[in-house]
Structure 1
C-alpha cells in the first residue's frame, strides 16, 4: 500500500463551450474599434444609453428564438419573487422596454446607441458563440424613410472610419413591405402561413450560397446537398416560385432600374408598392447626400429573417476576399444589419411607435479588421518596471513609481520575491518599454540605471557573443535620481 499523499482534487480549470477569454491585446484592439464607431454615432447626434444584462423574460417576448418554449434559447433564472429573468438575447428588446418605461421623459425622435454583450443559449460551433458583443444604434419615434436612410449612411461612414476602403464594403437595402406584399399576393398572408413565410425568407437568404436554382429547390419541395442531406422546402407551387425568383432577380444596373423591376414584379399589391415608394425616397436621399452605389445599393435579396421587421431592412456586407487557415479564399460577408420595427415598443404601450436601427457584430467585424491589418497590429506597451534590488528599500522604489505615475507614465514596482534576472524576465513578459534599477552603487552616486528594453532587444539581434554583450551593455544609461522621470519620458517619446 502506497504511503504517498493523495492528490488534491478540485474543479477543473476549463472554459465553458461557446464562451471566450480575451487578453489585453484583443481588448485594446476592440476598445479602439468601439471608440471609432462611437465617434461616428455621436457625429450623427446619437447618445449613449446602457441597459442591464438581465430583463424580465416576458419583456423579451417575440424576440426569443422559440415563443412556445420561453426559456429555450436564452439563459434564465427565477429571482426571489419567483419571477423569470433572462440574459438579454440582443440589445433591441431591452431598448424597447427602456423607451416604453421612460417614454414621456425622452426627446423624440429618440436617438441612442448601446454596446454590450448578448447571450444565446444555443449549440456553439465554429464562429458561433453563446456570448458576443454588439454595437447598436436606433432612432425611435420617426416613421420617415429619412430615418432609415440616415442609419444606412451612418453604417457606410462607420465602415470607412474603421479603415475599410470604399469598394471593400457595401450597404445593401430592401423593404419588408415589398416582400410581405409579394407573399400575400401568392397566398402566404395571415398567421396560419407564418411557418411557410419563414421558409421562403430562409430560402431567399441562401441566394448567395446556393444560387437561383438552389433557392428554387428550397422554395419548392426541398434540396439535397452533396453529402446527401435533405433540406425540406417551403412547398410553393411553380407559379409562386417563379414570382419569388423574379423578385430576387429584380436588381438592375442602378437604383432606378431596380425600383422599376420591383414595381413590375409586385404589381397589384398595394403594400408592396408602398415599400417600393419608401425605397425610392431613400434612394433620393442617398443621392442628395453623395452616397453612390459604390457604398449603398438596393438589393431585393436582403430579407433579414426576424418577423418583427416592418419596413426597410439593411445589411453591411464586406466584399473583399481573404485566405483562411486552410488556404481557402473566403469573404466575411455580413457584419452588421437591421431595419425598421414599428411594432416593438407597442408591446409595452399598446400604441405603435415607429423605430429603426442596426446592429454591428463586434467580434466578426474585429476579425475582418484584423485580416486587413487594421486591428491588432500594434503590440501592447506594458508599464515601466522599477526593479527591487534591496528589500530594505522598498519605500524608495515605491516613491519612484509614484513619481512616474504623477507624470502620467504607466509604471509598477516589482512585487515578487525573485532576483534581478527573474525580474528582467518578468519585465520582458509584461512588454515593459524600460526598467529602472537602483542598487547600492547607483544610490551612492545619486543616480538610477535605465534599461531601454526595446532598443536593447534590437541591439541584441546583432550581438552573438556574451563577452561582447557585457562590454556593450546596449541601451543602458545612467540618469540623475532627481531627473530620471524626465529621462524616462524622453525615452518613451521616441517610441
Structure 2
C-alpha cells in the first residue's frame, strides 16, 4: 500500500505587494494618527469606522485609471452570488454610509476616518496593495467655507505632527477654472474628449515632467529617457499657449502679469494679482469665472483667520484626478529638501490631497449632494517625519527585570507590577534564566533602556541593582576616554527605591 503523500508545508512569506508592520512602526503611526485626530476633533468632525468590505456596486467606477468597477479591487462572490470587494479608499464607503443613514445624520455631516485600504494593482518600490489612509470630509454643504476649513485643518494637522511652518504649503486650485481654460481654448465638446484627457493627465504630471514635458504632451507627444513615446494632444499653438499660460503666466497672452509667478510660489501676498490673472484667462467662460469666484471666497476666509500665502496658496497646476473632483482641489506639499536614491537633493513632495466632489452620493440617492474632503497619505507623512528627524527609527523598549532565581518569580513580578503602576513600561524576562548573558542580549534586542538585577545576595540585603543600558553602551563605545570610564552605569539602591531610581534614569536618558 502506497504511503500517503505528505502535504507540503506552507511557505512563510508575505504575499506580493503586502508587508508586515512591527513595534515602533505601529506605535509611531498610531501616535501620528492620534495627533491628526485631535485636530479633526477640534474642528468638530466625528469619527466614523465603516466596513472594510463593500459591494462592488457601491464602490462604483471611481478607482483611478480603470474602466471597470471590479478591476483594481480585491473582489469575490458571496453565497448569494453578490460581488463584494475590499474598499480601495475611504471616500466611496462614506458616500454609501451617508446615503444609507442620511435621515439619522446631521446636515452637513463632518466625519474623519482612518484605516487600511486595498488595491489590486501592480506593486512596486514603496507601492503596496494595502496601505493606510486618513480622511476628513464634509457632506451636505456647497459653501466654500467647508473647502476653506479643510485647507486650514490640513495645515494645522501637518503642524500638529511636527511639520514646521515654512516646510509645507497647501496649494489650492479649482477644476472649474481648468474647465474654463479648456473651454476658452476650444476643448469643451465631445470631439475634444481625447485631447482633453491628454491635457489633464499632462498637467497632473507637471511636478515630474516639468513645463517642457507638459508642453510636449500638449503638442505631438513626448519620448521619455527609455525611448517610450506618449501620444500628445496635438493642440494648435494658440491652444497650447493658453493652457501653458494657465500654468505659469505669459505676458504675450494678456499683458503684464506683475507678481503673478511670485503669488504662485507663495513668496508674497499677491493673491489678488493671481485671481485677476485667472479671470482674464477664463474670460468668456461662465464655469471658469465661477471657479475663480470660489477661489476668491476661499482666499478671503483663510486670510481672515491668519493663514497667509506661506501656508495656503493658489496654484493652477494642481489637478487631482481626472473625473472625480467637481470644484476646488488642493494638495499639501512638503517643501524641505531630501536626498534621492542617487544622492541628489529634491523636495519631498505631496503628502495629502483632496477637493470637492459633488456627484458621488448622487449615485445612491439620484440627487446631487455636495461634499468636500481630504486624504492624507499616512506612509508618506511618516516617511517625511523620519526624514525631518521628528521620529526615530526605533522605539525605546521596556525596562527588563532579569531573573536570577526562578523560585522568586513572584518577587520579580511584584517589581515589574510596581513599575507598571508608576506608568513605566516594564516586563519580566520569561525565557530560560540559566544564562544571564542571554538575558542581557534579550534586553539589548528589545532596545531596553534599563535592566533590573536581583539575585540571592540582593534579596538578603534588601537591595536591587539597576543597570543603565543606554549609558553602558555609550561608555563601552568611549572606553578609552577617562571621563566616560569614571561614570557609573549601574547602581545599587534599596528595594523600596526601585521605582524612583528607574524614573530618574529614564528622565536623564530623555
For the pair 1:333 / 2:349, whether they are aligned, the reply is yes
Q: What is the aligned counterpart of 1:265 among 272, 281, 284?
A: 281
More displaced 10-residue stretch of structure 1: 69-78 or 356-365: 69-78
SS in 2 for 1:227: coil
TM-score between both structures, scaled by the size of structure 1: 0.91
Shift in CA distance, 342/37, structure 1 to aligned 2, threshold 3 Å: same
Give the conservation status (yes or no) of the 8 Å contact 1:26–1:376. no
* Aligned twin of 1:394: 409
* Aligned twin of 2:196: 197
Give the conservation status (yes or no) of the 8 Å contact 1:65–1:72. no
SS in 2 for 1:105: coil
Structure 2 CA distance, aligned partners of 1:193 and 1:95?
Answer: 33
Structure 2 CA distance, aligned partners of 1:8 and 1:77?
Answer: 27
Q: What is the aligned counterpart of 2:334 among 306, 318, 329?
A: 318
For the pair 1:89 / 2:105, whether they are aligned, the reply is no
Spell out the pairing of 1:13-162 with structure 2 (5 A cutoff): 13-65=12-64, 68-162=67-161
Displacement after TM superposition at 1:99 (Å): 1.3
Shift in CA distance, 69/262, structure 1 to aligned 2, threshold 3 Å: same
For the pair 1:428 / 2:462, whether they are aligned, the reply is no
TM-score between both structures, scaled by the size of structure 2: 0.88
Give the conservation status (yes or no) of the 8 Å contact 2:66–2:72. no
Displacement after TM superposition at 1:185 (Å): 4.2
* Aligned twin of 1:361: 377
Cα-Cα RMSD = 2.5
- The CA deviation string for residues 108-148 of structure 1, in whole angstroms up to 9 with x for no partner, is 21111111122111111223222221211111111011111
Structure 2 CA distance, aligned partners of 1:98 and 1:256?
Answer: 40
SS in 1 for 2:61: helix
- The CA deviation string for residues 131-174 of structure 1, in whole angstroms up to 9 with x for no partner, is 22121111111101111111112222222233323332211111
Structure 1 spans left out of the alignment, 5+ residues? 1-6
Displacement after TM superposition at 1:187 (Å): 4.7
* Aligned twin of 1:4: none
* Aligned twin of 2:266: none
SS in 1 for 2:452: strand
* Aligned twin of 2:256: none
Spell out the pairing of 1:443-458 with structure 2 (5 A cutoff): 443-458=459-474
SS in 2 for 1:179: helix
Structure 2 CA distance, aligned partners of 1:343 and 1:194?
Answer: 20
Q: What is the aligned counterpart of 1:348 among 337, 341, 364?
A: 364
Displacement after TM superposition at 1:51 (Å): 1.4
For the pair 1:384 / 2:384, whether they are aligned, the reply is no
Q: What is the aligned counterpart of 1:408 among 423, 443, 463?
A: 423
- The CA deviation string for residues 181-222 of structure 1, in whole angstroms up to 9 with x for no partner, is 333444544667554432211111223333333222212321
* Aligned twin of 1:3: none
SS in 2 for 1:132: strand
Q: What is the aligned counterpart of 1:480 among 494, 498, 502?
A: 494
Give the conservation status (yes or no) of the 8 Å contact 2:61–2:69. no
Displacement after TM superposition at 1:314 (Å): 0.7
* Aligned twin of 2:271: 255
- The CA deviation string for residues 315-362 of structure 1, in whole angstroms up to 9 with x for no partner, is 111222211242111122111111000111111111111111111111
State the aligned residue count. Answer: 484
Structure 1 CA distance, aligned partners of 2:353 and 2:343?
Answer: 28
Give the conservation status (yes or no) of the 8 Å contact 1:73–1:120. yes
* Aligned twin of 2:212: 213
Give the conservation status (yes or no) of the 8 Å contact 1:459–1:474. no
* Aligned twin of 2:10: 11
Structure 2 CA distance, aligned partners of 1:457 and 1:258?
Answer: 58
Shift in CA distance, 259/387, structure 1 to aligned 2, threshold 3 Å: same
Displacement after TM superposition at 1:365 (Å): 1.6
Give the conservation status (yes or no) of the 8 Å contact 2:64–2:321. no
SS in 1 for 2:115: strand
* Aligned twin of 1:492: 506
Structure 2 spans left out of the alignment, 5+ residues? 1-5, 250-259, 264-269
Structure 1 CA distance, aligned partners of 2:472 and 2:52?
Answer: 47
Structure 1 CA distance, aligned partners of 2:306 and 2:424?
Answer: 45
Structure 2 CA distance, aligned partners of 1:296 and 1:219?
Answer: 29
Give the conservation status (yes or no) of the 8 Å contact 2:74–2:118. yes
Shift in CA distance, 394/57, structure 1 to aligned 2, threshold 3 Å: same
* Aligned twin of 2:169: 170
More displaced 10-residue stretch of structure 1: 125-134 or 269-278: 125-134
Structure 2 CA distance, aligned partners of 1:77 and 1:271?
Answer: 42
Displacement after TM superposition at 1:261 (Å): 1.6
SS in 1 for 2:60: helix
Structure 1 CA distance, aligned partners of 2:439 and 2:147?
Answer: 57
Structure 2 CA distance, aligned partners of 1:348 and 1:325?
Answer: 46
SS in 1 for 2:35: helix
Give the conservation status (yes or no) of the 8 Å contact 2:73–2:85. yes
Structure 1 CA distance, aligned partners of 2:240 and 2:487?
Answer: 78
